[in-house]
Amino acid sequence: MTVTGGDDAIYAINLRSRIAGRVLLRLASFPAKSFGALENGIASIRFGGRLDKRAPLAVRVSCHRSKLYHTKAVAERVHGKLGAPPAPVSHLDEDDAPPPTLLVRVDHDVCTVSLDTSGAHLHKRGYRLATAKAPIRETLAAALLAAADYDGSVPFVDPMCGAGTIVIEAALIACRKAPGMTRRFAFESWQAFDPKLWRELRDAARREERRAIVPIAAADRDSGAIEATRANAARAGVPVESAIQPLSRSVPTAASGLVLANPPYGARIGDASHLRDLYATLGNLARGPFDAWTFGFVTTDPKLARAAGEGFSTPYPPMAHGGLKIRLWLKRPS
């Protein structure tokens, strides 16, 4: 997604976006069929105090269907022109504290240069230090909640919560807490960083916070998962009611609301019939005690989704979850 704006937009999107993975500042786009054209284009970029040329800089290059195809040579020319010492190019999205990073994409002989403004991937909100089995990214959890139209005004239940990612994202929405409130961003180390503007944006976001007006609840049959959920929710500063409880014992906490679960998908042989039973239980709950709720779950496997039975549809394209593709299955209240 592309938006136009100044530093206030850069700060605010990083602070408030629940779903974006990172915010890149597009600096330039120019034809580059030769190293000369590349160097001229790089030399013409105005960074406006957003790059400290004495600090190590990582330059990530991709080349696609272009005369300039050697990514290392492109990176060397960019470094040579900017004069910033090279930093090792790590896996940007895995690194907790990546160096300032310039992204250079050469595609069909057009070079596009962007500066990373986020630093660590935006799913790293800072609260999830305790983990359980197969957690999903915070940004993916927030995307699933948005796909189920969750706005924090109705009760929420995750009956298989693991480390609590989905339920904590639901609670952050219910409390109107900006997800980036407790972490740092790459733009904070720019020479042109405006601490006053940043303080004002954070203060404005803080003024919007409120106590959750609906119950936000989580359960898991595993005590370690519930411990992790409690510790993570405390760090996020949100109220989550949690209980050690098997799925089959789930009961509604109110007349209506949203259930959203990320059950196991089962890669291991021998899991199949046990998992079919688990998904059948999800379906029975959705058509039984939770009939007046919106009821959703995600899975990689359409056969497992079908084991949940009637009433579910999958309105959105698959979403990437690590190396997997998951789909959201939803049953609206009848």
Q: Does 262 bind ligand SAM (CB under 6 A)?
A: yes
Alpha helices in the chain (DSSP H): 7-16, 35-43, 71-82, 138-147, 165-174, 195-207, 223-236, 272-287, 302-307
Q: What is the largest CA-CA distance in the chain?
A: 68
Side-chain half-sphere exposure of 44, counting CA atoms within 13 A: 13
Nearer to ligand SAM, 213 or 244 (CB): 244
Residue 16 in tokens:
């408030």
Q: Does 147 bind ligand SAM (CB under 6 A)?
A: no
Q: Does 142 bind ligand SAM (CB under 6 A)?
A: no
| The one among 60, 202, 221, 276 contacting ligand SAM by CB under 6 A | 221
Residue 222 beta carbon to ligand SAM: minimum distance, rounded to whole angstroms: 4
Four-point Cα dihedral 93, 99, 100, 101, nearest 10: -50
CA distance 257 to 284: 17
Nearer to ligand SAM, 214 or 247 (CB): 247
Side-chain half-sphere exposure of 43, counting CA atoms within 13 A: 9
Q: Does 136 bind ligand SAM (CB under 6 A)?
A: yes
Q: Does 308 bind ligand SAM (CB under 6 A)?
A: no
Q: Does 284 bind ligand SAM (CB under 6 A)?
A: no
Residue 334 beta carbon to ligand SAM: minimum distance, rounded to whole angstroms: 24
Residue 16 beta carbon to ligand SAM: minimum distance, rounded to whole angstroms: 22
Q: Does 222 bind ligand SAM (CB under 6 A)?
A: yes
Residue 174 beta carbon to ligand SAM: minimum distance, rounded to whole angstroms: 17
Of 31, 85, 15, 92, give the one whose Cα is nearest residue 60.
Answer: 92
Residue 186 beta carbon to ligand SAM: minimum distance, rounded to whole angstroms: 26
CA distance 170 to 142: 7
Nearer to ligand SAM, 88 or 270 (CB): 270
Q: Does 220 bind ligand SAM (CB under 6 A)?
A: yes
Q: Does 298 bind ligand SAM (CB under 6 A)?
A: no
DSSP 85: P
Q: Does 264 bind ligand SAM (CB under 6 A)?
A: yes
| The one among 19, 63, 68, 163 contacting ligand SAM by CB under 6 A | 163
Report the phi/psi class of residue 117: left, alpha or beta, with left for phi > 0 and alpha for psi in -120 to 50. Answer: alpha
DSSP 84: P
Burial (CB < 10 A; 0-12, 13-18, 19+), residue 306, is middle
Strand order from edge to edge, sheet including 101-107: 24-31, 110-116, 101-107, 58-64
Q: Does 242 bind ligand SAM (CB under 6 A)?
A: no
Residue 23 beta carbon to ligand SAM: minimum distance, rounded to whole angstroms: 23
Residue 92 in tokens:
């940007």
Nearer to ligand SAM, 27 or 136 (CB): 136
Q: Does 179 bind ligand SAM (CB under 6 A)?
A: no
Residue 1 beta carbon to ligand SAM: minimum distance, rounded to whole angstroms: 24
Q: Are 274 and 247 in contact (CB under 8 A)?
A: no
CA distance 334 to 325: 29
Residue 107 in tokens:
């595609």
Region near ligand SAM per CB under 6 A, out of 7-15, 56-64, 155-163, 301-309: 155-163
Region near ligand SAM per CB under 6 A, out of 76-84, 98-106, 132-140, 310-318: 132-140
Q: Output the residue with the shortest Cβ distance to ligand SAM.
A: 162
Task: Give the interface with ligand SAM as residue ranges (CB under 6 A).
Answer: 132-136, 160-163, 165-166, 220-222, 225, 246-247, 262-264, 278
